[in-house]
Amino acid sequence: MKGTILSIISILGASIVCGCSSHEASEHDNDPLAWLEVDSSAPYNNPLPEMPEPTEKITIHSVGPLAQVFNDSNYIHWNDAEKIGIMPLSDTHSHFNPGKELVKVTSCEDFYVEPLTHSSPYLVPEAAALLHEVGRRFRDSLQARGGGDYRIKVTSVLRTPAGVRRLRRSNRNAIDSSVHQMGTTVDISYSRFMAYSPTPARSAEDLKNLLGEVLFAMRAEGKCWVKYERKQPCYHITVRPKNNIQ
């Protein structure tokens, strides 16, 4: 499927750029898309094989029951995705919004991209910028609570309709994840975080809730919609158009 997507993009001449940056946030406060610069991902492709133990507790500010707090429907995700995303890809034909580019996302200082089996690592620039912001704010929040060298783990990115159909055979949540076809949506695991140092060690539960705090704030800022998925343990996140403060 990956080869098919890349062939379609190449044939249609869609603009694709690579996105990952390790620059300081202060340099880019006025231009969120500036984070989509090319950056070597090599140092970030080798996390520890397992999350280290024993863990040390961090302070968590609960946002409430996560499944209830993050319950934005597929309709809501889809409605905003249509405004800024690409038209859904198929295995044989595709249409892109005029001038819409796709950004390749790779493991970097802000996040880790797991080997993908049902999707390919491409997003529209707005979604790629959002992903970087989530990763940066997660790490900043963790440092403020005592530190730990962890990154969020990306588990799903751009899908084709055929890929969604195949995924539905084993994952009922795929029906809610079909918005992945527009390049506006990403899944981030809440059961596994990638550690790059054995100390200080943090628990997956604390990191899940810390990430929940970050997403709660960004959702309130009108930057994204979020669904807390249960069967496939992830936050299902769709970028929103600008100026959507609730």
Give pLDDT tens digits for 54-79: 999 999 999 999 999 999 999 999 99
pLDDT at 141 over 80: yes
Range with the poorest average pLDDT among 50-54, 171-175, 191-195: 171-175
pLDDT interval class at 88 (50, 70, 90): confident
**How confident is the prediction for the chain on average, in pLDDT?**
82
Average confidence (pLDDT) over 172-187:
77
- Token representation of residue 108: 């970097």
Q: What is the pTM of this model?
A: 0.82
pLDDT interval class at 191 (50, 70, 90): very high
Range with the poorest average pLDDT among 10-24, 56-70, 151-165: 10-24
Average confidence (pLDDT) over 130-135:
98
Highest mean pLDDT among 2-16, 103-117, 156-170: 103-117
pLDDT at 36 over 50: yes
The whole-angstrom separation of Cα 146 and Cα 181 is 38
Rounded to the nearest 5°, which phi and psi values hold at 240? -110, 155
Residue 238's alpha-carbon distances to 34, 81, 123, 128, 222, in angstroms, are: 20, 7, 11, 11, 11
Pair 19, 36: CB distance under 8 Å: yes
pLDDT interval class at 241 (50, 70, 90): very high
The reported pLDDT for the residue numbered 101 is 84
Average confidence (pLDDT) over 5-15:
41
The reported pLDDT for the residue numbered 178 is 79
**Which position has the higher pLDDT, 88 or 184?**
184
Proportion of the chain above pLDDT 70, given as a percent: 70
pLDDT interval class at 23 (50, 70, 90): very low
Range with the poorest average pLDDT among 97-101, 126-130, 149-153, 224-228: 97-101
The reported pLDDT for the residue numbered 16 is 54
